[in-house]
Structure 1
Amino acid sequence: ARVVLIDDVATTGKALVESIEVLSRMDVKVIKAICVIDRQEGAGAALAKYGVALQPIFTADEFLK
C-alpha cells in the first residue's frame, strides 16, 4: 500500500519519522508528507533520509509575514 501522511505542524519531523517507521514495518510505503505549517527546524531533512518529500502549505516564514 502507498499512503500520504498529513500533519498540522512539522518541526523536527520526529512524529512523522516514527509514523514512517511503523508503517514501513507493515509494508506500507509513505510517498509524501503534507503539513499546514513547516516550522523549518529540520523536518524536511529528517524525512528526506527516508525518501519522503515534505510538502508544506506554508512555511513558518510565510505564515508569520
Structure 2
Amino acid sequence: MEFTSQTNNWYHVSLDTQTQKFIATATNNEKISASGITIEQAVQKLSYKVKQTNSVNQHLFA
C-alpha cells in the first residue's frame, strides 16, 4: 500500500524514538532542523532557525 499526500507545509515532523524527541525539518532545506519534547516546541525552534538563515542570506546577497 502506498500513501501519497500533497502539503503546503514548510516543515515536516518526525519522532526520534531513541531520545523521545520530535524533530522538525524545513521542507526546502533538509539541513535545517530542530528538536523538542513537543511538536510545537520543535516547530518554534525550527522557525527561529529558518528566520536566522533567511536573514543571513539576505545580508549576503544584498
TM-score normalised by length of structure 1: 0.31
Rg larger in structure: 2
- Bigger strand share: 1
TM-score normalised by length of structure 2: 0.32
